[in-house]
Amino acid sequence: MSLLVVGISDLKTSGDPSDVLITYSLGSCIGATAYDPVARVGGMIHYMLPLSQISPDKAAMRPAMFADTGVPALLSELLAMGAAKNRLIIKAVGGAQLMDHHKLFNIGERNFLILRKILWKNNMLIKASDVGGLISRTLRLELDTGRVTVKTSQGENEL
Amino acid sequence: MSVKDDLIASISSLPTVPIMANRLVLLLNDPDARPDDVSRVIQYDPALTANVLKAANSSYLGFTQPVTSLTEATVRLGTNWVFQIAVSSLIYSNLKRPAPGYGMSAEETWRHSMAVGIMAEALRDQLRLTGVATIFTAALLHDIGKIPLGEFVRDSFPALQELVTTGDASFEEAEQAILGVDHAEIGAMIAEHWRFPEAIADCIRWHHDPEKAPVITPALDLVHAADAMCIMEGLGLGRDDLHYRLCEASFERLHLSQEATERAVSRTIIELENIKETFANAPAVGAGR
């Protein structure tokens, strides 16, 4: 088995059933997985911010930093590997926030909302999610089964 | 003996931070200092000079002609930049230590410190504020109290966790309630022990709760904002997770818009990765002096 670590502002895909994709320290960022159980290909993204318009030069350097450039990049990479849009199972976690009563900087919520919008435009839905709260999360995708787990300080669960 | 007394005793036996770090801070805060004064101080330390030049020649900065002297580095990259690399190098060995109870490795502690330093600088740039020496140094050192407090946090972790998950307490409020002291308070004591200017110790002391500070300065608001953004974005998270308050008043006083803040976040992640090159296997500059 090889453990492929997806860093912050990073995305990775694989068609090797022995691979496991993992990303750590998801705060307000979103970690999303997409898996096609027939083609047995899958991928993961860890993006930080919703929209690339605030910094197009950074988006050109690191498309996976933003939802609006990273998520389409992940999907097209998977389609090129033989995945079919209607078979892709999407799961997402993260979108946490600090203790902030007025949600002045609700990056987490906006990060999750933009994902749903992008997928909706592509006629896709999120199958399962675990978002919000004051906790950080670790997300894991097993390529042989498509099993997705999320780990927090409270324990580990299948999504 | 209370946890606080224990820690105060251990702080006084801490090795001192290289004297040159204080000299550089004072120099940069001195309105009469000339730009090349910083490099004139640094040049007497060969290891430090080597580190500044290594950073200046990292591929990220993309100079086709290598930078060969401190004067050249100052001209091309500016005094502030040279100062930041120099102070980071000098404090490196003090900051790259595990904070056991927080579940943070030496690597993670250092990464979070650098991230907040870079974020503070990115925000400062957006706002065109002055005072880089205080802001950067305080941002770099803001969590230094976690290193000595870590073992006490480890021993009391279940109680701390219960307070933050069932009550409305932030993590440092829980530290105060259970241990009688919090990491910001200890951090400020360390900065004082190291004889850094009071303004730096004050930023460290109140970085989670700027409203409680006797005097609220832009430097304090910036250090708070930078730390809040780094915690939120997962740049060096520990077992204390996101259990900290975001002080909206700080963001309002700084007139920090969502857009400006997000732009600073995007710059930080890129610069953080590039700075890693400079400190990968870095020798402990100035250790033990």
Q: What is the DSSP letter of B277?
A: H
Residue B286 lies in a domain: no
Looking at per-residue pLDDT, the higher value among B9 and A145 belongs to A145
Nearest to B20 by CA among B109, B85, B76, B81: B85
- For residue B278, what are the β-bridge partners? none
Average pLDDT over residues B269-279: 83
Structure tokens at A85: 């849009």
Residue-wise pLDDT for B195-247, tens only, equals: 899 999 999 999 999 999 999 999 999 999 999 999 999 998 899 999 999 99
What is residue B130's three-state secondary structure?
Answer: coil
B286: pLDDT strictly greater than 70? no
Beta carbons within 8 Å of B114's beta carbon, 6+ residues apart = B88, B140, B272, B275, B279
Cα B248 versus chain centre, distance: 21
Chain B residues inside the 8 Å CB shell of A48: 233, 265-266, 269
Percent of chain B surpassing pLDDT 70 = 97
Q: Determine how β-strand A89-94 pairs with β-strand A148-152.
A: unpaired
Q: Tokens at residue A95, please?
A: 């979108």
Q: Best interface-test mutation with A: which of B269, B271, B274 has the largest number of A CBs within 10 A?
A: B269
Q: What pTM, to 2 d.p., does this model score?
A: 0.92
CB pairs < 8 Å spanning A and B:
96
Report the CATH number of the A2-158 domain: 3.30.1330.200
Starting at the edge strand found earlier in the chain, the sheet holding A30-36 runs A10-14, A41-47, A30-36, A89-94, A126-131
Which residues on chain A place their C-beta less than 8 Å from a C-beta of chain B? Answer: 8-9, 24-29, 48-49, 54-55, 58, 61-62, 65, 96-100, 102, 104-105, 107-108, 133-136, 153
Look at B270 and A58 and tell me if their CB atoms are within 8 Å: yes
pLDDT at B289: 32
Percentage of chain B modeled with pLDDT above 90: 52
Q: What is the mean pLDDT of residues B93-98?
A: 88
In a domain, B53, yes or no: yes
Q: Give the SS3 label for residue B247.
A: coil
Question: Is residue B17 scored above 80 in pLDDT?
Answer: no
Going from the C-alpha of B288 to that of each of B16, B57, B133, B137, B170, the distances in angstroms are 8, 27, 23, 20, 36
In a domain, B212, yes or no: yes
| pLDDT at res. B188 | 96
Q: B233 and A8 in contact by Cβ < 8 A?
A: yes
Q: What distance in Å separates the CA atoms of residue B193 and residue B204, rounded to the nearest whole number?
A: 13
**How many CB atoms are located within 10 Å of the residue B15 CB?**
11
Listed range (B48-62, B84-98, B261-275) with the worst mean pLDDT: B48-62
Among A9, A55, A136, the residue with its CB nearest the CB of B237 is: A136
* Beta-carbon separation of B259 and A54 below 8 A: yes
pLDDT for residue B67: 87
Interface mutation vs chain B, best among A48, A62, A103, most B CBs within 10 Å: A48
Distance between B193 CA and the closest CA of chain A, angstroms: 31
Give A54's contacts in chain B (Cβ within 8 Å).
259, 262-263, 266
* Residue A73 designated active-site: no
Q: Return the residue of A nearest to B165 by Cα.
A: A134
**Overall domain count for chain B:** 1
For A124-135, give the secondary structure using H, E and C. CCEEEEEECCCC
Is residue B162 domain-resident?
Answer: yes
pLDDT at A119: 97
pLDDT digits (tens, 9 = 90+) for B233-265: 999 889 999 999 999 999 999 999 999 999 999
Beta strands A19-26; A2-5: pairing state: parallel
Residue B289 lies in a domain: no
Q: What average pLDDT does this structure show over B14-25?
A: 81
Q: Which of B268, B282, B204, B262 is nearest to B236 (CA)?
A: B268
Name every residue whose Cβ is closer than 8 Å to that of residue A56 and which is 6 or more positions away in sequence: none
How many CB atoms lie under 10 A from the CB of residue B245?
21
Q: Which of A114-123, B19-28, B144-153, B166-175 has the lowest mean pLDDT?
A: B19-28
Least confident segment among A75-89, B13-27, B171-185, B261-275: B13-27
Q: Is the pLDDT of residue B57 over 70?
A: yes
Among A8, A54, A98, select the one facing B263 at the smallest CB separation. A54
Q: Which residues of B62-81 are buried (b: 16+ CB within 10 A; e: fewer)?
A: eeeeebeebebbbeebebbb
Exposed/middle/buried for residue B12 (C-beta within 10 Å: 0-12, 13-18, 19+): exposed
Distance from C-alpha of B74 to C-alpha of A91, rounded to nearest angstrom: 48
| Parent domain of B9 | 3-279
From the list A24, A58, A100, the residue facing B266 with the nearest CB is A58
β-pair partners for A156? A151
> Cα(A28)–Cα(B233) distance, rounded to whole angstroms?
6
Task: Compute the half-sphere exposure of residue B56: CA atoms within 13 Å on the CB side of its CA.
Answer: 26
- Assigned domain for B214 exists: yes
DSSP assignment of B82-118: HHHHHHHHHHHHHHSS-BGGGTB-HHHHHHHHHHHHH
Residue B243 sits at the chain A interface (C-beta within 8 Å): yes
Subunit contact B241:A136, Cβ cutoff 8 A: yes
Contacting residues for A129 by C-beta, under 8 A, at least 6 apart? A91, A92, A93, A112, A159
Q: How far apart are CA B103 and CA A1, in angstroms?
A: 26
Query: Of the residues A29, A32, A114, A148, which is catalytic?
Result: A29
Q: For B77-87, what is each residue's pLDDT tens digit? A: 888 888 889 88
Q: What is the pLDDT of residue B250?
A: 95
- Cα–Cα distances in angstroms (integers) from residue B129 to residues A34, A69, B87, B239, in the given order: 43, 32, 20, 33
| ipTM of predicted complex | 0.93
Residue B40 has a pLDDT of: 86
* Cα distances (Å, whole numbers) of residue A58 to B13, B57, B65, B77, B180: 45, 21, 25, 20, 44
**Is pLDDT above 90 for B129?**
no
Domain extents in chain A = 2-158
- Which of B229, B243, B269 has its CB closest to that of A134? B243
Q: What is the CATH number of the domain that holds B219?
A: 1.10.3210.10
CA distance B128 to B131: 10
Amino acid identity for residue B207 in this structure: H
Q: Chain-wide mean pLDDT for chain B?
A: 89
